[in-house]
Amino acid sequence: MEKEFKKVFFGYDIEEVDKKLLDLEQEYEKIYEDYQQELTRLKNQKFDFESEIARLKSEMVEYNDFNEKLSSILTDSYFKSSEVVFNTKAKLDEKIEEKNLELDELQSKNTEIKNSVNSLLSKLENIVIEKKGM
């Protein structure tokens, strides 16, 4: 882009210098416009990125809230179900103990009845033996 100017009587040719300056001005204006367009494009892209970041942050807050609520629900459900299982087991253990006591009582009564029947059978045998012996 180097241009040599013709020398005239008092320096360089004014027309050539003016033309060169005009060419340079136009060239720099074109470069400036290109930079301005690129700057505008980059600003738009920055705005789009910032909007996307804001949207993603909002989504992240929603997901975190959902996660906290879900965690709370699961924790509450776990403790409630554990309590139900514990209470149900305690009731069942109590019922089993009651039934075991009833079974012990019935076995004891059964033994008493067997003893009473054996005693009656023994008495009946003695009576039969006495009757035969008479």
Angstrom distances, CA of residue 25 to CA of 29, 31, 35:
6, 10, 15
Question: Which residues lie below 8 Å from residue 7, measured CB to CB, with a gap of 6+?
Answer: 13
CB 12 within 8 A of CB 5: yes
pLDDT in tens, 41-50: 999 999 999 9
Q: pTM surpassing 0.75?
A: no
CA–CA gap between residue 74 and residue 71 (Å, rounded): 5
Q: Count the neighbouring beta carbons within 10 Å of the beta carbon of residue 36.
A: 10
* Mean pLDDT, residues 11-39: 92
* Mean pLDDT, residues 100-111: 96
Q: Count the neighbouring beta carbons within 10 Å of the beta carbon of residue 46.
A: 10
- Kindly state the helix (H) or strand (E) to which residue 124 belongs, with its residue range: helix 14-133
